[in-house]
Structure 1
Amino acid sequence: MSVKTAVIIGVGPDRGLGARMCYRFARAGLHVVVAGRTQAKVDIVAANIRDFGGDASAVRADVTKETEVAALIEQAEQTGPIELAIFNAGNNMPGAFLTMEPDYFETCWRIACYGGFLFTREVLRRMVPRGVGTLLMTGASASMRGKPNFAAFTAAKAGVRALGQSLAREFGPLGIHVAQVIIDGAIDGDRINIGRPQVAAALGPDGLIELEGIVDAYEFLYRQQPRAWSHELDVRTFKESF
């Protein structure tokens, strides 16, 4: 029996969305290829999966490097056919527009939008001939609306959303489920609690989106039957205005 493989790129700290998705799908019985820019972080997540009896491997990969993304997907395929692929890359990069350097704007776009292109292209090249697979992408509030001081991030995330819409319409009829989860608010993880504690404190516990609840949305999409697919889900706290 061939191993069912999931490849998740954009994995960072243990208490982060990428890591929590890895744990969830490893417990669901998939071999998870844990991918991210920092070898130490992906090693920790893969080791934790193996500690609870799951199957995982860690791969350092930069989503903006075509050769690294291609190598990642090839390694995942050698483990077993990719059944699930999740593009979770893209840092929130605010900045004042009038003083923004072109390199800053381009970097934001390359991580989220260009990286999304490289990753989804390589995944779909494997899934399409088999006529089966789930490809999920992480969105943000900026995917749907632009706010002051977030021009670069909005352009990048809106681009990823539009990319996903095109892919869903092109490859859905070929058996590939392409969908996005729009995370409309701050996630209750290490990135905000450690990196921006003042913001976390201002929002309070009920103002941060619960990690496992977000992962539930990804698992729901993964388990949908072909005659009842969703293309997009949005998640937010009950306090968030929208």
Structure 2
Amino acid sequence: MARYAIIVGTGSGLSAALARAAAADGMKLVLVARDIAKLAPLVAELGARAVACDASEAAGVARLFAVAERDFGVPELVVFNASYRARGPIAEIDPVEAEAALRNSALAGFLVGQGAARLMLGEGKGSIFFTGATAGVKGFAGSAPFAMGKFALRGLAQSMARELGPKGIHVAHFIIDGGIAGTRGARAANEDDVLLSPQAIADTYLNIHKQHRSAWTHEIDLRPWNESF
């Protein structure tokens, strides 16, 4: 079977850069999104397989990994890149929105991580990566649901790393501490100074995927060079 990666939560920006970086490294790709019509240009560019899946639904995730295993074997790399934002004062946030944030970050991350682990455990190798955010280490005012989801995702990654690392599976959590270029509409004049390059982030993911197991990174934070923290 060919080497391949699964990217869950594929769109433009970071996930597209990850797909291109993995393809350049020789991996086949399974690109996952609720709406795969939007992925048509990227699928054509990379010769990828697109799979429609709601990652917060257990049955859908189970089908995703069953199809991937049947057609491609065990993935070398699985990246969970899905997320959900709900903003507003704590007294006004709709509980439905808070639940959606938890389902699409915490629960979806669990389901994807579990599905990837079930396949990789038989091989005793592979990488499972989670895309986090500043909100996973620092909850901001007016953004409680997003922080809840990202904090939970970070805890999931820590637990999985401690369980699966000794079994040969590399679990890593990436704190994207800033905005990503190309995801905020028109290009800003100083974009290179204030936003992260999606290509540079993708390179970091691939470099960590290739690490020797004697020196694995579990968590890394990435931010623009001139950002205070």
TM bucket (normalised to shorter chain) is over 0.9
Partner Cα separation in structure 2 for residue 180 and residue 82 of structure 1: 18
Map 1:140-155 to 2 at 5 A.
140-155=133-148
How much has 1:204 moved relative to structure 2? 4.3
Once the two structures are superposed, residues 195-227 of structure 1 have per-residue CA deviations (whole angstroms, 9 ceiling, x without a partner) of xx5xx7597441111111111110111100111
Map 1:7-86 to 2 at 5 A.
7-13=6-12, 16-50=13-47, 56-78=48-70, 79-86=72-79
- Where does structure 1 lack aligned partners over 5 or more consecutive residues? 51-55
1:226 aligns with 2:213: yes
Partner Cα separation in structure 2 for residue 105 and residue 45 of structure 1: 31
* 1:212 equivalent in structure 2: 199
Amino acid in the other structure paired with 1:234: D
Aligned-residue RMSD, C-alpha: 1.5
* 2:121 equivalent in structure 1: 128
Amino acid in the other structure paired with 1:76: A
Using the size of structure 2 for normalisation, the TM-score is 0.95
Q: Contact (CA 8 Å) 1:34, 1:45: kept in 2 or not?
A: no
Amino acid in the other structure paired with 1:207: V
1:160 aligns with 2:157: no
| Overall identity of the aligned pairs, in % | 37
- Where does structure 2 lack aligned partners over 5 or more consecutive residues? none
67-76 or 226-235: bigger deviation: 67-76
131-140 or 76-85: bigger deviation: 76-85
DSSP 3-state at the match of 1:206: helix
* 2:88 equivalent in structure 1: 95
Number of aligned pairs?
228
Q: Contact (CA 8 Å) 2:84, 2:100: kept in 1 or not?
A: no
* 1:170 equivalent in structure 2: 163
How much has 1:92 moved relative to structure 2? 3.3
* 1:109 equivalent in structure 2: 102
Using the size of structure 1 for normalisation, the TM-score is 0.90
1:236 aligns with 2:223: yes
Q: Contact (CA 8 Å) 1:134, 1:178: kept in 2 or not?
A: yes
Partner Cα separation in structure 1 for residue 91 and residue 215 of structure 2: 45
* 1:53 equivalent in structure 2: none
Q: Contact (CA 8 Å) 1:73, 1:123: kept in 2 or not?
A: yes
DSSP 3-state at the match of 1:180: strand
Runs (4 or more) in structure 1 with deviation over 4 Å come to 200-204
